[in-house]
A = this chain, B = another copy of it.
Amino acid sequence: MSESERREALRARYGTEGGPDIAWNDVIAGLLAHRTVRAFRPDPLPAGTLETLVAAAQSAASSSNLQTWSVVAVEDEAAKRRLSEVARGQRHIVEAPLVLVWLADLSRLEAIGRDRDAPTEGLDYLEMLMVGVVDAALAAQNATVALESLGLGSVYIGALRNDPEAVADLLGLPPNVLAVFGLCVGWPDPERPAAVKPRLPQGVVLHRGRYDDALAAGPIGTYDAAMRAFQAGQRIPEVGWSGAAIERVRGPGSLSGRDRLRGILERRGFGLK
């Protein structure tokens, strides 16, 4: 754990020299080194990998220990191809040996209630969708930390929300279950290496005591420059960050079909009261 490693990790994470003064150990070094892997070797995963990731996921906190999440492990070629279509052709979904589909799952509590003739009307509130989504996300992130510790790589697939009904059909999801996102897991292909993507300066996301709602124009300009330098290094269009980010939320037409999410959830049994 050398000081130069720490400095290099911060430089990559923020795309600038300097950066915050942080504590350092193997775990933190691993977290800082995270990168999105979209190119996988075809090799299968070692036996026990799936069980390891699920044990890590289950070790994350869960709201009131309700454990309102589940995960479907998809390894079948045709099923991965179908998920890839939902995600507008993202090739890594087919390439990865394992795709985990993380679910906000209110159906388990509903089934227990039905079994005991006990009311579960609390499930009909937006709050409980929130609980399920947070539970699923905490679990998935623990799995991500675990898989990276094993030398594996991954990419989250939010684009499964482009068409939650197609995902539900494919995976046989009951009502009151939403596929929140996917996670492709595999061995990173060393021929097509992934890079650490810079993030906003700490001062933009960290507020001390009270939220500072002044638009941090200066730091965001610095970050746009850092992202353009990163994009140049990756040989991708040098669009910076802020312009591309607001383009992404321009209107319903820029949401890749996800402007339909509320209606879909209601049809799939979520009360959202």
Contact = CB atoms under 8 A, between A and B. Distances in A.
A243 B115 CA distance: 11
Given A32-B55, A51-B22, A112 B174 contact: no
A205 B60 contact: no
A236 interface: no
A115 B177 contact: no
B109 A245 contact: yes
A71 B146 contact: no
A43 interface: no
Q: Output the residue of A76, A112, A150 with the most chain B CB within 10 A.
A: A112
Interface string A67-78: 101111111100
B207 A70 contact: yes
B66 A141 contact: no
B126 A265 contact: yes
Contacts of A259: 122, 125, 127, 273
The quantity of this chain's copies bound in the complex is 2
Contact of A58 (B115, B200, B249): B200
Interface stretch (A88-96, A131-139, A185-193): A131-139
A68 B216 CA distance: 14
A23 B250 CA distance: 44
B252 A73 contact: no
Contacts of A252: 121-122, 125, 273
Contacts of A210: 72, 171-172
Contacts of A19: 55
Contacts of A125: 252, 255, 258-259, 261-262
Interface in A35-82: 36, 46-52, 54-67, 69-76, 79
A237 interface: no
Nearest to A79: B209
Contacts of A156: 61, 63
B112 A145 contact: no
A199 interface: yes
A70 B155 CA distance: 22
Interface of A: 10, 13, 19-23, 25-28, 30-34, 36, 46-52, 54-67, 69-76, 79, 103, 105, 107-109, 111-113, 115-116, 118-123, 125-128, 130-131, 133-134, 137-138, 140-142, 144-146, 149-150, 155-156, 158, 161, 171-174, 177, 180-181, 197, 199-200, 202, 204-211, 213, 215, 217, 220, 241-243, 245-252, 254-255, 258-259, 261-262, 265, 272-273
